[in-house]
Chains A and B, each alone.
Chain A
Amino acid sequence: MYFKLAWRNIWRNKRRSFITIGSILFAVFFALIMRSFQEGMYEMMIDNMVSISTGHLQVHKEGYWEDRSIDNIMTLDQDVLKEMNSIANVNRACPRIESFAWITADNLGRGAILIGLDPRVDVMALDDKLVDGEVVGMDDKSIMIGEGMAEYFGITIGDTLVLLGQGYHAQTAAAIYPVGGILHFGNPEFSDKLVVMPLKLAQEFCSTEDRVSSILIELDDIVAHTEVKPKLQGLQYAEAVSVLDYEEMIPEVLEAIQADRIGGKIFIGILYVIISFGIFGTIMMMTAERKYEYGVLISIGMHRFKLFMITLRESILIAFIGVLMGFLVAFPLIYKLHHDPIPFGEEEMEAFQSFGIEPAYYSVIDLVLCFEHMLIIFCIAMVVNLYPLVKIMTLRPVEAMRK
Chain B
Amino acid sequence: MSIIKTQGLTKIYKEHTVEVRALNGVTMDIAEGEFTAIVGPSGSGKTTLLNIIGGLDKPSGGQVSIGDVDITDLNDNQLIDFRLNNIGFVFQAYNLIPVLTARENVEFIMLMQKRPKAEMDERAESLLKAVGLEDQMHKRPREMSGGQQQRVAVARALASKPKFVLADEPTANLDSKTAINLLDIMATLNKEEGTIFIFSTHDQKVIDRARRVVTLEDGKIVSDVLQN
User: Out of A9, A296, A301, A401, which one reaches B160, CB within 8 Å?
Assistant: A301
Q: In the complex, are the beta carbons of A302 and B112 less than 8 A apart?
A: yes
Q: Closest approach, in angstroms, between the C-beta of A301 and any C-beta of chain B?
A: 3
Give min CB distance, B85 to chain A, whole Å. 7
- The A-contacting residues of B in range 159-204, CB under 8 angstroms, are 160
Which chain B positions have C-beta within 8 A of A309?
Answer: none
A397 in contact with B94 (CB, 8 Å) = no
B89 touches A299 (CB 8 A): yes
Asked if B54 and A299 make an inter-chain contact with CB atoms under 8 angstroms apart, the answer reads yes
Expressed in whole angstroms, the Cα–Cα distance for A298 and B80 within the complex equals 7
- Interface residues on chain A, size class: 20 to 34
Q: How far is the CA of A304 from the CA of B107 in the complex (A)?
A: 19
Contact with B along A5-30 (1 / 0, CB 8 A): 10011011000000000000000000
Name the residue on A nearest B55 (C-beta). A299
In angstroms, Cα B100 to Cα A243, docked, is 71
Does A1 sit at the interface, judged by CB under 8 A?
yes
Chain B, Cβ-Cβ closest to A305: B77
Q: Which residues of B contact A298 (CB under 8 A)?
A: 80
Roughly how many angstroms separate A9 CA and B100 CA in the complex, as a whole number?
9
- A303→B80 contact, CB < 8 A: yes
Q: What is the bound-complex CA distance between A304 and B83, given in angstroms? A: 13
Say if the beta carbon of B34 comes within 8 Å of chain A: no
| Cβ-neighbour of B94 out of A4, A293, A302 (below 8 A) | A293
> How many residues of B are in contact with the other chain, CB < 8 A?
31
Q: Which one of A300, A303, A304 lies within 8 Å of B89 (CB-CB)?
A: A300
A299 near B100 with CB under 8 A, answer no
Given contacts A1-B111, A293-B98, contact A300 B84 (CB under 8 A): yes
Q: Across the interface, name the chain B residue whose C-beta is closest to A12.
A: B99
**Least distance between A194 CB and chain B CB atoms (Å):** 69
**Given contacts A1-B107, A8-B99, is CB(A301)–CB(B85) below 8 Å?**
yes
Provide the residues of chain B in CB contact with A1, threshold 8 Å: 104, 107-108, 111
B81 within 8 A of A: yes
B91 with A401: CB separation less than 8 A: yes
B111 — which chain A residues lie within 8 A by C-beta? 1
**Closest-CB distance, A288 to chain B (whole angstroms):** 15
Measured CB to CB, the closest approach of chain A to B19, in angstroms, equals: 18
CB distance from A14 to the nearest CB of B (A): 12
Is residue A398 within 8 Å, beta carbon to beta carbon, of the partner chain?
yes
Let me know if A170 is at the binding interface, CB within 8 A. Answer: no
CB-nearest residue of chain A to B76: A304
Contact B95 A296 (CB under 8 A): yes
Name the distance in Å between B161's Cβ and chain A's nearest Cβ. 12
Interface presence of B51 (CB below 8 A): yes
Complex alpha-carbon distance, A302 and B85, angstroms: 11
B84 x A301 contact (CB < 8 A): yes
A300 x B104 contact (CB < 8 A): no
Q: Is A177 an interface residue (CB 8 A)?
A: no
B131 within 8 A of A: no
Contact of B99 among A9, A296, A301, A303 (CB under 8 A): A9
Residues of B contacting A293 with CB < 8 Å? 94, 97-98
Given contacts A5-B99, A292-B94, contact A301 B56 (CB under 8 A): no
Chain A residues lying within 8 Å of B81, measured Cβ to Cβ, are 301, 303
Taking CB as reference atom, which chain B residue is nearest A397? Answer: B56
In the complex, how many angstroms separate the beta carbon of A336 from the nearest chain B beta carbon? 40
Residues of chain A contacted by B94 (CB below 8 angstroms): 292-293, 296
Chain B proximity mask over A42-78: 1 for CB below 8 Å, otherwise 0: 0000000000000000000000000000000000000
Chain B hits for A303, CB < 8 A:
77, 80-81
Complex Cα gap A306–B157 (Å): 20
What residues of chain A have their CB less than 8 Å away from a CB belonging to chain B? 1, 4-5, 8-9, 11-12, 292-293, 296-304, 306, 397-398, 401
Q: A292-B94, A293-B94 are in contact. List 11 more A-B contacts (CB 8 A).
A: A1-B108, A1-B111, A9-B99, A293-B97, A293-B98, A299-B54, A299-B83, A302-B84, A397-B56, A398-B56, A401-B91
Q: Pick the 5 closest A-B CB pairs, nearest first.
A: A301-B84, A8-B99, A301-B83, A398-B57, A398-B56
